[in-house]
Structures are given as structure tokens and as C-alpha cells.
Chain A
Amino acid sequence: MSRIFWCLFFTAWPIVAIVVCAITPAMDWGFPGNREAATPLGQRIDDLFYLILGIVTVAFIGTMAALSYVLIKASKNKDEKAWFSHGSHNLEVIWTIVPAGVLLFIALYQLDVWAIYRVRDYENRDADPRPLHLVAEVTARQFEWRIRYPAPGTRFTSYEQVKDWLAKPHAGDVYAVNRLLVPLNRETLIYLKSGDVQHSFFVPDLRVKQDAMPGQSIDIWFTVNRAGTFDLTCAELCGWGHYKMRGEVEALEVKELESRLRELKQLQDYDGFTPPGTAAASGEVTR
């Protein structure tokens, strides 16, 4: 009696898991960003995930089915003695080589994505004639994100120039907080610094995550290919306010981005003087 109960109990969970997996896309329980990353690299990471999910599902169903069969068959037949095996060398070889092969396949398959994400040497991009579009310096602090953009309209043509800009403040820099503006369909470079302790720059929709280490200036590259506003959260415990260290990453068409940055610069340069006879300009950040 109790054997049947426990058999069914342990068989039910895998079935529930498979059912949940199957209905996840319909229920929108999947990845953030409507199940689709907003960067090409993010999409490739998602594809990798689905590949691994597929492989693992096949293995899961296979092993669970075998286990269930064995349990049910054995529980019905109470008189038959158990079959004792002295081991099978062939079986051992098979079920070592096949999983190893699968894992090796996964490891090689993802090398390229990893390389793009973490390894590619961006410093020697000087050979690449495309201008480096938006560079921003983001300093993670307890519990906000302080942002510095170069003067609107600045075009960096070499990494050296970027490093120079990073090294110290420049006239015309635009300062902002918590809302990062990035261009659409352009390669974006963010330099991440920390003002105090370790933080992590995590934009789930873009599949971008990078720890901010105090004393280091770490480069993050991505290209956003979907317009919108994405959540920026801190992913490294940094203090009691870690949970509310939220920001926003807003992806805009390049022209609109430039005009927004110019607007920010204008607000930043507000001197409070209203010529008599004109309406007072607002000095506040409204958006």
C-alpha cells in the first residue's frame, strides 16, 4: 500500500516539472524581457540556455521513465527475487562516454559566446574604423548609480581617447544618476567603477552582468537592438540598501539620444536667470 503511494509521489514531481517547463512560455514565466533578450549576444546566450535545456530534458525524461518503470514493475511483483548484476563493463563505458561527449559538445559550442562576452581583446580595436559610440562611466555607489557621459556629440575614434576621457573630468561632461541612456543598434561601451564596495551592474533584459570592483574600471560592451526601458539592478550584496539599488537603462535612437543628452546638459548649465518678459525655464530634471 505505502509502496504505491511513494512510487506515485516520486513519479508525480518529474511529471509536474515537465508540465511546468512546457507551459512556461505561455505563462510568461521565462526569461525577463518577454523571453527575448534585447541584445544579439543576449539572444545567443538564451539560445545556449535552450540548447542545454533541451539536452537535459531528454536525459531527464529518459532517466525518470526508466526509474518509474523499475519502481512500478518491482512493486507489483513481490515474490520474484531481485536480479543481481556483477556489473557490465560495456554499460559503464557507454554511460561515461556519451555524457562526456555531450558535455564536450556544449563546452565547444559556447566558446564563441564566451569569447565575445569576456575574452575578446577590445583594446586593439583601433583597427576597427567604426566610431565608438556612447561611452559612459557608471560609478556604482551605495545605493545609486552615478553616471558621467562625455559632452554630447563627442566621437571617440580610438581607445586611447577613451582612456584619456576616463582619467579625469572634462568640461562639457554630462552628469546623471540612476537613468542610463544608451543608443539603439550601436555598440555601447560602459566603464564600470565602484564608489565604495563591490556592486554588480546587472541588466537582466540585456543579459549583461558585471561586478564592480573598487579601484577598477571595467569595460562592458553590448549592443541593444530593441528600444525600451530596462531595469538595472545591483546583483552583488553591497549593504542594507542593496535590494532597492535600482536604475533604468533606456535605449533610444541615436538622434533622440543626442537630443536627450543635450537637454541634460542644458539643465546642468542652468544659471537661474530669466530675462525679463520671458517665461522662467525649468531647472528641474523632469524625465
Chain B
Amino acid sequence: MISRRLILPLLALLPLGFGCADYRAEFVNDERVAQLDTSSPVAADNVRNSLLEHFGTPNDLVAWGALPIDYGEITGTVLSAPDAHTLRVSLDTDPTEQFSQVAVVLGDATPAHRTAAHYDATTHTLTLDPLHSTAPTAPTAPTAPGTPIRLIGHKLQAGRKAFMRHCMHCHGVTGDGNGPTARYISNHRLNPQPRDFRRGLFKFTSTKDGYYANREDLRRTVRQGLAGTYMPSFLLMKSKELDAIIEYVRFLAMRGEIERRLLAHLKDLLPDDDGTPPGDLKTLEKELAVDGFAEALADATALVAENWTNAEDPQNGVLPTMARLPDTPQSRLKGRNLFISTKINCAKCHGEGGRGNGGFLDDFQKNPETQQSYDTPGLRDAWHNIIRPRNLTSGIYRGGRRPLDVFRRVSVGIKATPMAGFATNVLEEDRWHIVNYVLSIPVDGAFFDEYGQQYHGRVRLFETHKHKHDDHDHDHDGHDHNKPEPSTTTTPSESQDKKSQP
């Protein structure tokens, strides 16, 4: 009798076992670190330890001064130190929220690192947490009054918490684009995966070729979303929260990039595809993982810091030097002619009708990391995903629909994709003609007839022209139905070229 009655309460203990297990966020390392473990555990440990030491874990972050990240800093002066764990301080800015567990840096010369457990705004008393002290020995002398104090990290904390709530689902705890919901996006071929921040590359930027995204670009992406993709708009998010998230995203990007560069430095220690460790392992290990490691880390950090800092420089932004040319039919026609010209080759990717189904999609691109061709034809981005050129008839512009945004795409291209910058071979006024044409395609159509009238391809095509394969929405997924029809004399691309000459 007793035991039967206890069944139900005992079953209620099940949640403790599954489902509600204490979820601790952890950064995951690049998969190559695990590979490195098999051939050179010393090298793998070095990578893991450096990342842990300089970036920490999501619950125990490290604010590293070498990186151009705004961690959120409050400066002040120590008024008195009643005991080893309490300080009375005068802060320069009143903290608007209650903060805790931020780093406390006392003095300039050799800062002793402590963590603030609690700050009482009424009594201006800072309670230090003894457990997290990273000072080599407990400070023996009480902190002298007048010592400058810096409380570092509240913005990083806010960013991390907000990121976990809003972004981690897709972008993952490490910012690797592998969050729990990311796999539901990969089923939909045409949608890009969530961004893997670890290359430090972002597609839609306002900076010149080769430069990174700046804070304003990231802010714009998060606020406006990327139309047509699974990246939603966070327009209603408060600016403060948004800025904190941006800093955390940069933090994750820099962490990932330093990891990549360290792994590139240790590339020769990785085992082969079939698992054989490299020959000459001991010497290589000594050279790369032991002697040269610190220098490689310093080099990677300096490069990353420099790249992210350069992106903020307004000189490295892309802005036109002339106003947009008036959006007249003549301008659009000029744009159209430039678009289909083989000297520029827009149509070879974007298609004669701008539907993103150009002939270059049939080519097998080479992987720049292995020099081998990919298995399937199609364009690839830096993350080796198949991507498609923009279907310009849809009216969806991921990087923004302002003339400035389209101008930037045409001038500088899209970072980390095959979309090149055409500032090198197309004059600025011609680029504005192309912008006028591109922006008019969804409304007025992509084609021009012999009278200079703009029309939508599909509509007229059925009326007067023979069925041409270039002008339809085809999937380029290995299906053969866009093979050129057996024509007697000309190839389809040549016949289109002939057709479009005015």
C-alpha cells in the first residue's frame, strides 16, 4: 500500500534527471583542434589553453585589453579600504544598473585583478569577491586612497546575456552558426546558414574591399534584419542592448579568428585525411607548438586588432563622390547594356533576366583552402556553402534597398562571396546607371525591347518569343533541365548576346 502511493511522487523527480539538467554554456573549439589532439596533444592543449586564458568561457569571460572591444568601463578613485574585501569608492559615472561580478582593476602599474561581487550605490561601497582574485598573492597592503580604480566588463556582460537570449539559438554559443535551430534552416536550400562569426567576415558592409565590418554595419544588420533570410529585424530592441550585443558579436568573431589563425600556424601538425600524423613530428612540434607559439599568438592578436580597428576608420568606408544620377529610362537602358555586356559579365551570374540563373552557376569552383574543385557545381561563399546570385526581380535586397546600398554592392562587392567589386573597371557614373537599372527591375522589368520600353521577361516571352531557357526560374541543383536545347547554329548565350544588342 505504501509503495504504490509513492510511485507518483517518485515519478515527479524525473525532471531532475532529464530535460532540466543544469545547462552550462560552453564555447566549442574548431573541429580541427580535436584532429590536432590525435597527432600533437601539446599543440591542441596550447590552443585550448590560450583561448581559455584570453577569452574565458561564457560564464566566466575574460576582458582582454589587447582587443578593440568596448567592454564597458567605469573609472573612479578609491576613497578608503575598510578591509581587504571592501572599498569605498567614488565613481566618475553613476552606474545606471546594479552590476556585479565585473573585473576590478586597481592602479596602473601592475594592476591586481579582482572581481566586484557587489556595489552599493547609496554607501558607495564596493565589495570584492575573494574567490575570483587573479592576483598572484593576496594583497598585503591595503589599497591606498587615491588609487585609480576601473570597473570593467558591464557591457560585455549585458551583451553576453542578450546574445544568449536573442541570438544563440541560431548563431550558437560560440558564434559558429551552429545553434540548436540552425539545422532547420539548412533544409531550405535557398536560405543562407546563420553566420559563422569565426572568420571575422560579414557580407554586408560599408567598408572598402578587404576591410572588415564596422560597428555601424553590424548594427544595421541587426536592426533591419536581412530581408528575405532567416535573420529577423530587431528594430524594437533598445539601443543600449543592441550596442552590447554588437560588442559581444565582435568578441566572438575575434575569438574565432584568433583560433583560426593559431590553427593555420599549426597547420603542418594536423594529421592527413586518413589520420597519419605528419612526419618529423617532434621537430615540427617544437618549432610550432612550443617555441613559436607565443609569437604566433601575438601576431594573430595584432592582426585581428588591426583589422577590426581599421574598419572603424571613416576613410575606409565606401561613399559615392557624385549624387545618384536621375532615374530616367535612358539611364536604365545604359545600365541594362552594361549589365549584359560581356566585358563586365553581370549577366553571367545574375542571368540575362536578372533571375540569378546565369551560366556561371554550372561551373565547378575551386576551394581556395585545398585547391581542389568542389563536388557540385555552383558558386560558393567563404564558408563553402553553395550560394546563388541575387534574383534581382524579387525586390528583396539583403544588404539594403537604398541606392547607396546597391551602389556599395556594385562598387565593392559582397565580402566573402564571388561577388566582386566593380569599382575597378566601371566608372562611378556607369555604376549609378547600373543601380538605376537594378532598382527598376522588380517594378518595370529586366528587359528592353527595340523601342527602349522596359518589360518583364516572362510576360512578353510567351507572347512573341520562342521558349528560351535563360529566362526562367530554374533550380541549379544538378538537375539537367536547363541544358541548352539542341539548337542548330548558336549556343543560347551567344543568341542572347545577339538579341540584346540595340
Interface residues of A (CB under 8 A from B): 141-144, 146, 168-171, 175, 177-179, 240-241, 244-248, 267-275, 283-285
The CA-CA distance from A184 to B181 in the complex, in Å, is 40
B223 at the interface (CB under 8 A from A): yes
Known: A240-B181, A244-B166. A283 touches B236 (CB 8 A): no
Docked complex: B150-193 residues within 8 A CB-CB of A: 166, 169, 181
Task: Give the most central of A268, A270, A271, A274: most B CB within 10 Å.
Answer: A271
In the bound complex, residues from chain A placing their C-beta under 8 Å from that of B407 are 271-272
**Set B220, B236, B320: member contacting A178, Cβ < 8 A:** B236
Known: A285-B223, A285-B224. A179 touches B404 (CB 8 A): no
The answer to whether A274 and B319 have CB atoms under 8 Å apart is yes
Q: How far is the CB of B437 from chain A (nearest CB, A)?
A: 13
Q: How far is the CB of A271 from chain B (nearest CB, A)?
A: 4
**Set B223, B321, B402: member contacting A270, Cβ < 8 A:** B402
The answer to whether B443 and A171 have CB atoms under 8 Å apart is yes
The answer to whether B235 and A178 have CB atoms under 8 Å apart is yes
Docked complex: B432-448 residues within 8 A CB-CB of A: 440, 442-444
Beyond A248-B236, A271-B320, 18 extra complex contacts between A and B, CB < 8 Å = A143-B232, A170-B443, A171-B443, A177-B227, A178-B236, A246-B236, A269-B402, A269-B403, A271-B323, A271-B404, A272-B403, A272-B404, A273-B321, A274-B319, A275-B323, A283-B404, A284-B216, A285-B224
**Set A144, A171, A284: member contacting B220, Cβ < 8 A:** A284
List 25 A-B residue pairs with CB atoms under 8 Å apart, sorted by A's residue number. A141-B232, A142-B230, A143-B232, A144-B225, A144-B233, A168-B442, A169-B443, A171-B443, A171-B444, A177-B224, A177-B225, A178-B233, A178-B235, A240-B169, A246-B236, A267-B402, A268-B401, A268-B402, A270-B403, A271-B402, A271-B404, A272-B319, A272-B407, A273-B321, A285-B224
The answer to whether B225 and A273 have CB atoms under 8 Å apart is no
**Set A170, A241, A271: member contacting B169, Cβ < 8 A:** A241
Chain A residue at minimum C-beta to C-beta distance from B397: A175
Q: How far is the CB of B322 from chain A (nearest CB, A)?
A: 6
The CA-CA distance from A171 to B443 in the complex, in Å, is 6
In the bound complex, residues from chain B placing their C-beta under 8 Å from that of A271 are 320, 323-324, 402-404, 407
Interface residues of B (CB under 8 A from A): 166, 169, 181, 216, 220, 223-225, 227, 230, 232-233, 235-236, 319-324, 395, 401-404, 407-408, 440, 442-444
Known: A142-B230, A244-B166. A175 touches B236 (CB 8 A): no
> Binding site of A, secondary structure by majority: helix, strand, loop or mixed?
loop
Q: How far is the CB of A232 from chain B (nearest CB, A)?
A: 10
In the bound complex, residues from chain A placing their C-beta under 8 Å from that of B408 are 272
In the bound complex, residues from chain B placing their C-beta under 8 Å from that of A245 are 232
The answer to whether A270 and B235 have CB atoms under 8 Å apart is no
The answer to whether A142 and B232 have CB atoms under 8 Å apart is yes
In the bound complex, residues from chain A placing their C-beta under 8 Å from that of B230 are 142
Q: 8 tightest A-B contacts by CB? A: A272-B404, A271-B324, A144-B232, A177-B233, A271-B403, A178-B235, A273-B323, A144-B233
In the bound complex, residues from chain A placing their C-beta under 8 Å from that of B235 are 177-179, 285
In the bound complex, residues from chain A placing their C-beta under 8 Å from that of B227 are 146, 177
**Set A168, A241, A284: member contacting B232, Cβ < 8 A:** A241
In the bound complex, residues from chain B placing their C-beta under 8 Å from that of A268 are 401-402
The CA-CA distance from A267 to B220 in the complex, in Å, is 13
**Set B166, B232, B321, B395: member contacting A169, Cβ < 8 A:** B395
Chain B residue at minimum C-beta to C-beta distance from A178: B235
Task: Give the most central of A143, A170, A247: most B CB within 10 Å.
Answer: A143
In the bound complex, residues from chain A placing their C-beta under 8 Å from that of B404 are 270-272, 283
In the bound complex, residues from chain A placing their C-beta under 8 Å from that of B395 are 169
The CA-CA distance from A269 to B435 in the complex, in Å, is 12
Known: A175-B401, A283-B402. A273 touches B236 (CB 8 A): no
In the bound complex, residues from chain B placing their C-beta under 8 Å from that of A142 are 230, 232
Task: Give the most central of B232, B402, B443: most A CB within 10 Å.
Answer: B232
The CA-CA distance from A248 to B181 in the complex, in Å, is 26
In the bound complex, residues from chain B placing their C-beta under 8 Å from that of A275 are 323
Q: How far is the CB of B240 from chain A (nearest CB, A)?
A: 15
In the bound complex, residues from chain A placing their C-beta under 8 Å from that of B402 are 267-272, 283
The CA-CA distance from A142 to B230 in the complex, in Å, is 7
In the bound complex, residues from chain B placing their C-beta under 8 Å from that of A144 are 225, 232-233
Task: Give the most central of A141, A241, A272: most B CB within 10 Å.
Answer: A272
In the bound complex, residues from chain A placing their C-beta under 8 Å from that of B443 are 168-171
The CA-CA distance from A268 to B404 in the complex, in Å, is 9
